Every structure is written in C-alpha cells, then in structure tokens.
Amino acid sequence: MSAAHPVTHHDIAMFLREKIRSGALQPGDAIPSEATLCAQFGSARGTVRQAVATLRAEGVISSGQGRRSRVVQRIASQSFDDVVSFSQWCRSNGIEPGQRTQSVTRGFAGAQLAEDFHIGQDDPVVSVHRLRLMDGAPAMVERLNYPLHVGKHVLSFDPDTGSIYEQLIANGVDIDHALRVIDAIEAPEEDATLLGVTPGTPLLRVRRKAFTASGSPIESSDDRYLFTKASFAVTSSRSNPQNVSMVSTPR
C-alpha cells in the first residue's frame, strides 16, 4: 500500500480470511504474530489488533488470552448479504440460483403482517410467492412480504430475472439487520407440489424479519427448504459470540 492508500484493519482482516479460506492456515494453527503483521503491512500495532478483534468477533479465530489466536474453523461466519439473499448465498457456494414466480400481489396487511410491520390491518403490503431453484432443481418455496413503501420497488421489478434483495439495495432500501427463526415443518400440499415431493415431507423452515438501522421492520419472510438442500452450521467457543451460518448440503 502507498502512503496515499494506507493499510486499514479491513485489509489485514481480509488477508487473514483469505489465508484461512485457502487452507494456508488450518483449524488449530496460530495466526501470525502482531509483530509479523505490523512488519508485513507497515502498520501500527493498534491497526493489527483491530483486524484480529474483527476476526474474533466473527468467530473465525479464538481469543489468544495471552497467547496468539488460533483458527477455529475454515470460515465460521457468513456475510449479511448471504443471510438475506438466496441468490447471493447460492453464488457463494458455487451454485446457480434460479426462480419461478408464482405470484406478486398488492393487498391488505391483515392481522399477522400488521403486527410484523407495526401498521394497520388495512394498510397495503406487497407479497411475493416464488419457487427457488439451485442449479435448475427445486430447492425452496419462498414467501416474501413488504410494507408498500418498500414493496413498490418489487412491483416495478420482474422477480423472475433475479434477486429481489439486490433490487431493493439498488433502490436505496436500508436493510441493516435481520432475525431468523429456524424450525422444521411437514410440507403442505401446495409446497410439496412445487418442490416435487410427497405432502408431509420434512422441510427446513426459515422465518426472517429484516429491519432498518433505526429498527423499523421492512420484510417478513417464510422460506421452506428441502432438507437435502440446506443445513445450518454453528461454531461455539468460550471466548467468542456464537455465529450461525447456512451451508449448502453436499450434492
């Protein structure tokens, strides 16, 4: 890096992530020392410490507790885009995403969505029902709901052409954080028909609520995956927060 472009803690954290991702640093390996990283990047010790703290917060490395931190696993965390966007999650796993839109509607919120969005039951919402594909094969039934001020960007978009999440971001929608609740259900007849399975087949259900930076709810979704297509991985350690990420099931 030149003086005009000084090394930041993001640069150092990215370097270490790539070492872990590529296998140059294996689970259990100690990361380079602060002195080594300072010399390599010509950076201050505080910058290196901030980079290491970032990876600890992500659950990628353990707390050193007086010793050098060690790799916990290859990659323990998942980007926010992968959490919210099915398309981006697929691409990050080397899978081609696809979709077959069943419906896009503007209607009234009703009791449940009014509660989810803190609006009136007669207020307008936009709802999307899609079958999602992984490498051309049925994988998940998706039901998305938005208050109208967000959903208007969906009404002007052909959801068969790609990612609704990317469309919302491109239109300046503030999607800051999300909550996911994961459980298992038996496939109802409608979902089973779309997915090509027998009614009652176990499905992995992921219900998500997304919020703006100020905490306003702007999405309520219900995604139902074939259990052969996705699972969840959790890494825990004594020193780091628990991180959860969805991982593709080997085909």
Give the pLDDT mean for 45-59.
87
Whether residue 188 sits in one domain with residue 125: yes
CATH code, domain with 36: 1.10.10.10
Contact (Cβ atoms closer than 8 angstroms) between residue 220 and residue 145: yes
Using pLDDT thresholds of 50, 70 and 90, give the confidence band for residue 60: confident
Which CATH number goes with the domain that contains 112? 3.40.1410.10
pLDDT tens digits for 86-136? 888 888 778 899 999 999 999 999 999 999 999 999 999 999 999 999 999
* Per-residue confidence band for 187, with pLDDT thresholds at 50, 70 and 90: very high
* Per-residue pLDDT at 247 exceeds 80: no
CA–CA separation, 154 and 45 (whole Å): 47
Q: Is 8 exposed, middle or buried (0-12, 13-18, 19+ CB in 10 A)?
A: middle
Q: Which of 61, 77, 93 is the last residue of a domain?
A: 77
Chosen domain end from 44, 77, 110: 77
Cβ–Cβ under 8 Å, residues 168 and 147: no
**pTM confidence score:** 0.68
Q: Domain of 34?
A: 1-77
Based on the fold, state whether residues 143 and 217 are members of the same structural domain: yes
Residue 103: both structure tokens together:
């419906």
Residue 242: pLDDT band with limits 50, 70, 90: low
